[in-house]
Amino acid sequence: MSAAGTVVTVAALTLREATRRRVLLALVVLTVLLLALSGWGFSRLAAEGLTSGEARLTASVVLNLVMFGFSLIAALGTAFLAGPTLAGETESGIALAVLARPVQRWAFLLGKLTGLVAFGAGFVVIAGLAELLVVQATVGYWPPDPAVALGLLAAQTVVLLTLTVLLSTAISPMASGVVAVGLFCTTWVAGVVGGIGAGLGNDAVERVGTVSRVLLPTDGLWRGAMHAFQDPSALVQFGGGAEAGAFPFLSQTALSPAYLGWAAVWVLMVGGLAALAFSRRDL
Amino acid sequence: MTAAGPAGATALLADLPPGPAVWCSGLRKRYGTQQAVSDVSLEVGRGEVVGLLGPNGAGKTSVIKMLLGLVRPDAGEVLLLGTDARRPSSRTRVGYLPELFRYQPWLTPAEVLTLHVRLSGLDVSAQRQRECLALVGLADRAGDRLGGFSKGMQQRLGLAVALVADPELVVLDEPTSALDPLGRVDVRDIVLALRERGVAVLLNSHLIGEVERVCDRVVILDRGRVAAAGTLAELLGQREVKLHLTDLPAGAAERLAAAGPVEREGEWFTVALPAEDAGTAVPDLVGDLVALGVRVHAVEPVRISLEERLLGILREGQEARR
């Protein structure tokens, strides 16, 4: 079979697995719950009689908080789906019959990743868009750059999935999910610590965030997404200055094209490493 | 030069007989400190059924996985259906039932077959896929999820997966390990039908009787090496004949010894006959003994089973290592 055909077939199989294993159903239920809760919360905010500036700040912060919830659900869902679908199939023997077919291993792996990305990125984009509509309907707030923001959320999911796929080629299904989600959370915390360092003017502490964002670009992309979700005046409303950077649900700067380029290189590098490891692996 | 240019060369190549279904040479594989496979070479001809025998840990499954590109050999070469096995396309016409048979539990048998047909890149009709499921007795369960299938039913599905994409070579690794006696008979019939259709089969099985019934040739592996290989006639070739003799004159013992190694228990003599016998050794021996004046009371052929032969080969190997 051609490599492109293998990628499409395996991606479709992975999406079918996500649907049949009720991962999709679980995500839909969680999303509806989160949308309903945030809709109720935002409608309460609208009833508080805030000034327009306060309303924009509050909407920005709460929107970023809810979006973080979605990105966490996507991270947990996809990381724990990627482990079983790759490492689990290798461990259980399902991969034996499939890989004895005329397929390239890298194409099989790319198919798995494509299916997972379509699922994870599709989820954050659809759920995120639904949340934006809820916010628009309740408090009348519409973010300055919604397409970029949702795109960066999807990119964050791609980064995390690529990492999980690499881990799945080397360690057990459960361990790969745990390590990937653990690293995702650690990088987020390191980003917050870096923000506090910036707020305090401490370069060494600030560097913690910078280094972690280079090693695993999930937090950097998340901060870029937050910046595109929040109102430009929100930082000024929050108090302005570097101190605002210490707050985890507001982002001080937009994402630079160079960082976006690095994230793309990172995905290619880690994905390539995963393909190499998987093609050399004895099954 | 007689052939006319490239067209002639193409015609010449087309006339060449196809390469064997499996050819491998000098396969080696080490896992950590354990040398699993040492210098294994074997061949499965087109349309031939070859049995792979050996004790646990002999390296049978490792050899099979190296043939199919699932395990990377440390050394050695493999050709599948005449193509370098490092190229995935060499497996287009290969069907495989793994020893560890598991299929996607969220799919139905019909969907598993469709998936494998798609991955093989071949065009196999839905009718043919249904026939395959019917052949292994799963026609009634084609639309049920595999999650609730027993091991035996999953192994039957594995057999259908191995057969669905019109293979020219089928590799069956312990194909009856989870099957009941009826299922074993079904597998035997399927292998015999494959041989009739000219499909080569490499069969790894612990059930020696099964191998003896269906295989043209046998390769015996022991501790990662080929301990013996050959047709059943060659491997079981050491036929024996047991004679009840009295009144042996001088010269009778020499005549018996000339036929082969002799063991004596009272009036019973067991003679191991040579493998390359055109069927004349026993009547010639009996005729000569009678001519010498020996009274021949009984002549009994002694059949060596493949199991006895296998055990003999493995014991010889053990003794040689001591």
Gap from B194 CA to chain A (nearest CA, Å): 20
Mutation target for B interface from A8, A25, A96: give the one with most B CBs within 10 A.
Answer: A96
B119–A103: do the CB atoms touch at under 8 Å?
yes
Most confident of the following: A63-67, B195-199, B318-322: B195-199
pLDDT at A205 over 90: no
Q: Is the pLDDT of residue A74 over 70?
A: yes
The first and second tokens of residue A273, run together, are: 């490493």
Evaluate if residue A27 carries a pLDDT over 90: no
Residues with Cβ within 8 Å of residue B254, at least 6 apart in sequence: none
Instruction: Tell me the chain B residues in contact with residue A94 when contact means C-beta distances shorter than 8 Å.
Output: 102-104
CATH number at residue B286: 3.30.70
Q: Is there a contact between B104 and A17 if contact means CB atoms under 8 Å apart?
A: yes
B100 → closest Cβ in A5, A20, A93: A93
- Asked if residue A1 has pLDDT above 90, the reply is no
Given B70, B92, B116, which is nearest A283 (Cβ)?
A: B70
**What secondary structure letter does DSSP report for B207?**
-
CA angle centred on A213, ends A211 and A217, rounded to 5°: 145
Q: Are B119 and B138 members of one domain?
A: yes
Distance CA A73, CA A66 (A): 11
Q: What CATH number corresponds to the domain at position B119?
A: 3.40.50.300
Domain assignment of residue B318, yes or no? no
Nearest CA in chain B to A15: B106
Q: Report which of B114, B120, B61 is spatially closest to residue B95, judged by C-alpha positions.
A: B120
Indicate the pTM of the whole model: 0.84
d(CA B239, CA B247): 25
Share of chain A above pLDDT 70, in %: 96
Range(s) of the domain holding residue B290:
238-303
Q: Which of B65, B91, B116 sits opposite A283 (nearest CB)?
A: B65
Instruction: Kindly give the interhelix angle for A23-46 and A52-83, rounded to the nearest 10 degrees.
Output: 170
Cβ separation of B68 and A104 shorter than 8 Å? no
CB B194 within 8 A of CB B91: no
Nearest-angstrom CA–CA distance, B230 and B35: 25
Q: What is the pLDDT of residues B17-26, one digit of tens each?
A: 778 999 999 9
B186 in any annotated domain: yes
Residue B4 within a domain: no
List CB contacts (< 8 A) between B116 and chain A: 97-98, 101
Contact B101 A9 (CB under 8 A): no
* Residues of chain A positioned with their CB less than 8 A from the CB of B102: 92-94, 96
Query: Are the C-beta atoms of residues B306 and B228 closer than 8 Å to each other?
Result: no
CB nearest to A9's CB, from B88, B100, B119: B119
Identify the band that residue A241 occupies on the pLDDT scale cut at 50, 70 and 90. Answer: low
On whether residue B266 sits in a domain, the answer given is yes
- The three-point CA angle A42-A44-A47 to 5° equals 115
Comparing C-alpha atoms, which of A252, A185, A253 is closest to residue A218? A185
Identify the CA nearest to A235 among candidates A248, A221, A251, A219. Answer: A251
**CA atoms of B110 and B139, how far apart (whole Å):** 9
Angle at alpha carbon of residue A244, lines to A57 and A194, rounded to 5° = 135
Q: Are A14 and A115 in contact (CB under 8 A)?
A: yes
More confident of the two residues B56 and A8: A8
**Which tokens is B298 given?**
């009984």
- Answer whether residue B1 shows pLDDT above 60: no
Secondary structure, 3-state, B70-94: CCCCCEEEEEECCEECCCHHHHCCE
Could you tell me how many residues make up chain A?
283
> For A205-230, what is the mean pLDDT?
90
- Closest residue on chain B to A85 (Cα): B104
In a domain, B8, yes or no: no
Across the interface, do B70 and A282 touch by the CB < 8 Å criterion?
A: yes
- What per-residue confidence (pLDDT) applies to B2? 47
Q: Which residue of B has its CA nearest to A5?
A: B119
Predicted confidence (pLDDT) at residue B266 exceeds the cutoff of 60: yes
**Tokens, residue B188:** 């035997």
In a domain, B159, yes or no: yes
Span of A36-50, B173-187, B287-301 with lowest mean pLDDT: A36-50
Predicted pLDDT of residue A244 = 63
Q: Are residues B135 and B256 in the same domain?
A: no
How distant is the Cα of A2 from the closest Cα of chain B, in angstroms? 8
> What is residue B138's three-state secondary structure?
coil
Domain membership of residue B322 (yes or no) is: no
% pLDDT > 70, chain B: 95
Q: Quote the mean pLDDT of chain B.
A: 89
> Which range has the worst mean pLDDT, A278-282, B202-206, B265-269, B313-317?
B313-317
- Give how far B15 is from chain A: nearest CA, Å: 26
pLDDT digits (tens, 9 = 90+) for A103-126: 999 999 999 999 999 998 998 999
pLDDT of B274 above 80: no
Mean pLDDT comparison of A175-184, B159-168, B312-321, highest-scoring range: B159-168
Helix (H, G, I), strand (E, B) or coil at B299: strand
Put the strands of the sheet holding B240-246 in their side by side order.
B262-265, B268-272, B240-246, B295-302
Same domain, B156 and B261: no
Distance in angstroms (rounded) separating the CA atoms of residues B282 and B302: 12
Number of residues that make up chain B: 322
Q: Does the pLDDT at position B30 exceed 60?
A: yes
Contact A71, A236 (CB under 8 A): no
Q: Distance between CA A182 and CA A67 in Å, rounded?
A: 19
SS (H, E, C) chain A: CCHHHHHHHHHHHHHHHHHHCCHHHHHHHHHHHHHHHHHHHHHHHHCCCCCHHHHHHHHHHHHHHHHHHHHHHHHHHHHHHHHHHHHHHHHHCHHHHHHCCCCCHHHHHHHHHHHHHHHHHHHHHHHHHHHHHHHHHHHCCCCCCHHHHHHHHHHHHHHHHHHHHHHHCCCCHHHHHHHHHHHHHHHHHHHHHHHHHHHHCCHHHHHHHHHHHHHCCHHHHHHHHHHHHCCCCHHHHHCCCHHHHHCCCCCCCCCCHHHHHHHHHHHHHHHHHHHHHHHCCCC
Chain A interface residues (partner B, CB cutoff 8 A): 1-2, 5-6, 9, 13, 16-17, 20-21, 92-94, 96-104, 280, 282-283
For residues B74 and B34, membership in a common domain is answered with yes
Residue B61 pLDDT level (bands cut at 50, 70, 90): very high
**Out of A2, A9, A100, closest to residue B70 by CB:** A100
Minimum distance, in Å, between the CA of residue A5 and any CA atom of chain B? 8
Total count of domains within chain B: 2
Query: Does residue B253 lie within any of the structural domains?
Result: yes
Angle subtended at Cα B305 by Cα B299 and Cα B310, rounded to the nearest 5 degrees:
135
Query: What amino acid is encoded at B310 in this protein?
Result: L
Closest CA to B213 of B197, B238, B190: B190
Shortest CA gap B212–chain A (Å): 27
- Of B234, B249, B277, the one marking the end of a domain is B234
| Residue ranges in chain B assigned as alpha helix (H) | 5-15, 60-67, 109-120, 126-135, 151-164, 181-196, 208-214, 232-235, 252-259, 281-292, 306-321
Element of type H or E holding B241: strand B240-246
Read off the pLDDT of each residue in B8-13 and give the average, rounded to a whole number.
70
Nearest CA in chain B to A278: B70
Q: Which residue has the tokens 């490092």?
A: B86
